[in-house]
Structure 1
Amino acid sequence: MTNWNDGYVVDIAYTYGYYPGMNPARLPLAFAFHGLQAPAIQTACELGFGQGLSTNFHAAASTTRWWGNDFNPLQAAFAQELAAASGSGAQLEDSSFSHFCRRDDLPDFDFIALHGIWSWVSEDNRQILLDFIDRKLKPGGVLYLSYNTQPGWSAFMPLRDLLVQHTQLAGNEERGLPTAARIEAALAFATRLFETDPVYAQTNPFMRDRLKMLQQQSRSYLAHEYFNRDWHAEPFAEIHRRFSQAGLQFACPAHYIDHLDMANLTPAQRQCLAEIDDPVLYQSTRDFMVNQTFRRDYWVRGGQVLDERQRVQALALQSVVLLTEPDKVPLTIQNVAAEITLNRLIYEPILQALSDYQPHTLVDLAASLAHRNLNLSQVIDSALMLIGTGHAAPLPPELDAATQAQIARRTADLNAYLLQRAALVLPESQEGDIAHLVSPLTGGGVKVDRVEQLFLLAREVCGDDLEAWPAQAWQHIAAQGKRLVRDGVRLEAEDENLAELATQARLFARTRLPLLRALQVA
């Protein structure tokens, strides 16, 4: 692993993920729920943006001006392509933290985001990041920080250390094996180790399943998640100690489900937490209750507190919109300990009210459902659950028509670029499905898988002629050497693939397309 990147993997690109917690449009609802006023976000920065999908989505779909860096040249180049495609003006560069964070021409920021990178870089780099946040985050500004934490990683850390030790063997380095090959060898070694039934595996039997899970994940993902030289899993109290020294206070979770203790904790656990006054001990104790492995949090520099009247008003006026067809929203969810069933008498009327795919304020939803004995508090909790499970999104504040039209043009240009990419035969270093497009309505990403993207591309070529979509999509799938899978079976014959595409196209046109059109993605 090369020195200039301080032990961070760069010879294999990261996955093309989209991370909604970094969307500033999600701040007002989360903050109001916890009694805080979210700031207006005019300038924002993501440090270590990976492929840059999130930053580019949020830059294209808002008036916020974005900056950022990544020290993987392949990733930075792709992020710059996306910025050019949208015309958002996002300033994204290929540089180290030491170079980017010491630039003297950067503005102060209302919002700074670090997704995972805090856990994967050296202590020197972490000090650079802390200094940057201390100097460049405005008063009232918000930090999004996601990171590996304890106690959930305690059992896995020895196995992770062993895997990394194996990848760093001198023999591997001398043969010049790429990262992916070294990871493959390390996983094979760990499998042989577990076949000897070590006491470690006897004491931690669930680690066998964890190893199997690692073997099934993409090597690109594993390289960046687990195989950097530096890897940290810090308890909340340590994170609080570090960032409070930079003048930040914990605001609230960025992961919306974490707002709802009723869905995550037992009555006894909630009672235990209710007896804790110290906010740091509260979060630390809650992490033990859910065996937390990964936290996504918002931190604020001098948050503005709302009184109860202001809080209720801010919540009531928040608009939300569905991201999933109502009949596809599951009413059973898996929390950290068990499967829970959502109350049909609450969720079914709310989903029905949102089924027109139009934005609705929470107060209007509550008023329209008063005859179903639903109140504003129940509607708010349900909205948080739907957003947290990815089936709904909060909307940003309304903008004037001219600005909204400009945003719509930028997002349309970016989506067009991504649709064209879905049809390309790419070199191995650039392969990887992008499973989201950007909505100017929500200010963020919407799940649209690759086949659906090819249907949207076919629609641009063939219009609403559904019969022509399968052949149009198939020519790209076949050129890429791919095949469809039905009921777990790979379809090899062309006629089988075309028949499956025809079935999927009809379903897409009837169910998904109306939703994507409402979200202004199609």
Structure 2
Amino acid sequence: MQDWTAGYVADIGYTYGYYTELNPLRVKLAFLNAGLRFPETGTACELGFGQGLSVNIHATAAVTQWHGTDFNPSQAGFARELATASGGGARLYDDAFADFATKPDLPDFDFIGVHGIWSWISDANRAVIVDFVRRKLKVGGVLYISYNTLPGWAAFAPMRHLMTEHATMMGCQGQGIVPRIEGALDFCDKLLAVEPLFAKANPQIGERFKKLAEQNRHYLAHEYFNRDWEPMHFRTMAEWLSPAKLDYACSAHYLDHVDALNLTAAQQAFLQGIPDRLFRESVRDFMVNQQFRRDYWVKGARRLNALEQAETLRQQRVVLLTHRADVSLKVAGALGEASLNETIYAPILDALADHKPKTIGQIEQAVAGKDLNFAQLMQAVMVLAGSGQIAAAQDEATIGKARKQTDKLNAHLMQKSRGSTDVSYLASPVTGGGTGVNRFKQLFLLAKASGRKTPEDWAGTVWQLLSAHNQRLIKDGATLESPEDNLAELTAQAREFAAKELPILHALGIA
């Protein structure tokens, strides 16, 4: 029998994650910060969309026509269900890459996204992707690609090999992948307990394995237990993409743009002495021990002059995603946790505190007299966006066109939350992307939509649903057993939701 999986884990579904880097709207701010021209995105494609949450959110929350494929028919089926419910028009398939790439009715694309899968597929499939990008990405178009990176994976790669070898050689194939993962983790835990010299020579292995063992087993299956698994140097990636005529543009991870968070002064000076940009990226990966890269590549990089860059940046709209009082002034980079300067960040956050989209130029005017220059403002915007506390916002016309579709998709996802915790994101027409909203908050929104007026009413409605299915809340690691305790906890959560998060969701076009 032919193996349609090509060595990829297919007997367990991927997690229902949302990946903001796949939102084409994010390209603009990253490109502008790097001084590059960006494309307007009318057509987009995601290769290997998993459960399809990202592709459907992006298809409904903007006016972009999306296509995509994921070879797992179960995942493609769920993705198509979302596309039908929203009316977003995403055209989604369960084809292998080679079959999808030869479809005669595909348009040329402004944006192609490949999240994660590059590290888990064969060279033959990588060649198919590169040829697809060569043929179907428009001039000026952007490829987003993420992948496991060397040197960050160099020390742990032997442990990953040992885990997969145990799952293959010692596990029972008929059990399915999860029991084999548990067996491999147990074996490696016992191995580390006897202090092999490999672990002594690589002292970070023990802590990294401990964190890995705490991860969702569905995630581990797809991240570590595929037949093909190859972390890659940045230069190797550049060589792979060279036939598609792609130039490296910049990191899709905004915090990578802020050297002060990731590199010492001496490291920055060392890198500035390297004239070749691609080699400089390779050396930078050694500086930060890079494990995972999220990058934008462009077919024909074109630079903006200083005036064009400044004027276009000032037109970019952003919106605050967090309650002003809850914004963290700490952020983590490669150098560890850094404290943000409140005299710089407070005026900017105050200007955005009403959660209405504002241009960077409007923020600049609002903080005039606060002794902030434009460079400081831009760095703060990149840090706040990189830490997920602000996001780029679409224009009002696009928001209006997308709202009907996002309402339908969100209604469908919230109905699913009545019986499942799988999906914890909803679509925003303001950001063109997804926003984290957990199950209980989705249920509060459902109760509100059904006519329940107060947080106490929402909590009562949610408790009726949970108790009917013999479900209980967990607080501080302990299950709440009595109805009174469960209702009290739900009421407290509903009140906080009403005070802090509901106004934000309303501003984002979700509530």
* Range of TM-score over shorter length: over 0.9
1:390 Cα offset (Å): 0.7
305, 320, 323: which is aligned to 1:322?
A: 320
AA matched with 1:148 = N
Q: Does residue 406 of the first structure (1) align with residue 401 of the second (2)?
A: yes
AA matched with 2:149 = T
| Distance in 2, Cα, partners of 1:482 & 1:122 | 43
AA matched with 1:473 = V
Q: Does residue 436 of the first structure (1) align with residue 425 of the second (2)?
A: yes
Task: Mark the CA change 1:258 to 1:470 in structure 2 (over 3 Å): closer, same or farther.
Answer: same
AA matched with 2:461 = Q
What does 1:188-203 align with in structure 2 at a 5 Å threshold?
A: 188-203=186-201
329, 332, 348: which is aligned to 2:330?
A: 332
Instruction: Deviation per CA, 1:8-49: give whole Å up to 9, x if none.
Output: 011101111111111011111111111111111111100000
Q: Counterpart in 2 of 1:134? A: 134
| Distance in 2, Cα, partners of 1:286 & 1:96 | 35
370, 374, 393: which is aligned to 2:391?
A: 393
Q: Does residue 420 of the first structure (1) align with residue 402 of the second (2)?
A: no
Which of 334-343 and 50-59 deviates more? 334-343
CA contact (8 A) 2:41 2:111 kept: yes
| Distance in 1, Cα, partners of 2:34 & 2:2 | 44
AA matched with 1:415 = N
AA matched with 2:216 = S
Instruction: Deviation per CA, 1:196-229: give whole Å up to 9, x if none.
Output: 1111111112211122112211110000111100
What does 1:54-453 align with in structure 2 at a 5 Å threshold?
A: 54-169=54-169, 172-173=172-173, 176-396=174-394, 398=395, 400=397, 404-424=399-419, 432-453=421-442
Instruction: Deviation per CA, 1:258-313: give whole Å up to 9, x if none.
Output: 11112211111111111111001111111111110000000000122211110111
CA contact (8 A) 1:236 1:283 kept: yes
SS of 2:450 mapped into structure 1: helix
1:493 Cα offset (Å): 2.2
Q: Counterpart in 1 of 2:507? A: 518
| Distance in 1, Cα, partners of 2:162 & 2:130 | 30
Q: Counterpart in 1 of 2:40? A: 40
Instruction: Deviation per CA, 1:136-177: give whole Å up to 9, x if none.
Output: 11111100000000111001100000000111127612xx11
Q: Counterpart in 2 of 1:475? A: 464
- Structure 2: gaps (5+ residues): none
| Distance in 1, Cα, partners of 2:444 & 2:396 | 31
- Structure 1: gaps (5+ residues): 427-431
CA contact (8 A) 2:261 2:334 kept: no
| Distance in 1, Cα, partners of 2:481 & 2:271 | 56
1:488 Cα offset (Å): 3.1
CA contact (8 A) 2:261 2:335 kept: no
Task: Mark the CA change 1:392 to 1:181 in structure 2 (over 3 Å): closer, same or farther.
Answer: same
AA matched with 2:358 = H
Q: Counterpart in 2 of 1:497? A: 486
AA matched with 1:91 = R
| Distance in 1, Cα, partners of 2:47 & 2:377 | 35
1:486 Cα offset (Å): 2.2
Which of 471-480 and 291-300 deviates more? 471-480
SS of 1:304 mapped into structure 2: coil
1:494 Cα offset (Å): 2.0
436, 445, 454: which is aligned to 1:465?
A: 454
AA matched with 2:40 = A
1:478 Cα offset (Å): 3.6
469, 473, 478: which is aligned to 1:484?
A: 473
Percent of paired sites with the same residue: 49
CA contact (8 A) 1:5 1:96 kept: no
Q: Does residue 31 of the first structure (1) align with residue 31 of the second (2)?
A: yes
| Distance in 2, Cα, partners of 1:417 & 1:450 | 13
| Distance in 2, Cα, partners of 1:450 & 1:288 | 40
SS of 1:467 mapped into structure 2: helix
1:337 Cα offset (Å): 2.7
1:477 Cα offset (Å): 3.1
1:75 Cα offset (Å): 0.9
| Distance in 1, Cα, partners of 2:324 & 2:493 | 19
SS of 2:92 mapped into structure 1: strand
Which of 110-119 and 192-201 deviates more? 192-201
Q: Counterpart in 2 of 1:15? A: 15
The CA RMSD measured in Å over matched residues stands at 1.5
AA matched with 2:88 = S
Instruction: Deviation per CA, 1:112-138: give whole Å up to 9, x if none.
Output: 000001001111111111111111111
CA contact (8 A) 1:363 1:376 kept: no
Instruction: Deviation per CA, 1:379-415: give whole Å up to 9, x if none.
Output: 111111111001110123x253xx5433100000000
| Distance in 1, Cα, partners of 2:5 & 2:455 | 49
Task: Mark the CA change 1:509 to 1:102 in structure 2 (over 3 Å): closer, same or farther.
Answer: same
AA matched with 1:363 = G
TM-score normalised by length of structure 1: 0.95
AA matched with 2:362 = D
| Distance in 1, Cα, partners of 2:86 & 2:52 | 13
| Distance in 1, Cα, partners of 2:454 & 2:304 | 53
AA matched with 1:81 = E
| Distance in 1, Cα, partners of 2:291 & 2:472 | 36
1:474 Cα offset (Å): 1.8
TM-score normalised by length of structure 2: 0.97
